[in-house]
Amino acid sequence: MNKTEPELTAEVDLCLPNGRLNPAAVGWTRRPLHRANLRGWGRNKRFEYWCITTPEITVAINVSHSDYRVTLATFFLDLTTVQAFSQAEIHWLPRGRIDAMPERSGSGATIGRGDAMLIEMLPTATGTRLRATTPRLTVDLEVIEPDGHESMGVVVPWDDRRFQYTRKDNCLPVRGRVVADGVAYEVDTATAYATLDHGRGRWPYWITWNWASGSGRSDGHEIGLQFGAKWTDGTPSTENALRLDGRIEKISQEHEWIYDRDDWMKPWRIRGDRVDLVFTPVYDRYSNFDRLIVCSKEHQCFGYFDGSVVSESGKRYKVERIFGWAEEVHRRW
pLDDT beneath 70, residues of the chain? none
| Predicted local confidence at residue 261, as pLDDT | 98
- Terminal alpha carbon distance of the chain: 30
Q: Is 66 helix (H, G, I), strand (E, B) or coil?
A: coil
| Predicted local confidence at residue 145, as pLDDT | 97
| Predicted local confidence at residue 34, as pLDDT | 98
| Predicted local confidence at residue 126, as pLDDT | 97
CB 70 within 8 A of CB 52: no
Which residue type sits at 107? S
Provide the β-strand partners of residue 182: none
What's the rounded Cα separation, in Å, for the pair 99 and 227?
31
CB 144 within 8 A of CB 223: no
| Predicted local confidence at residue 333, as pLDDT | 83
| Predicted local confidence at residue 202, as pLDDT | 97
pTM of the model: 0.97
For 11-49, the pLDDT digits (tens) are: 999 999 999 999 999 999 999 999 999 999 989 999 999
What's the rounded Cα separation, in Å, for the pair 123 and 136?
25
What's the rounded Cα separation, in Å, for the pair 167 and 36?
12
- Any idea what DSSP says for residue 315? -
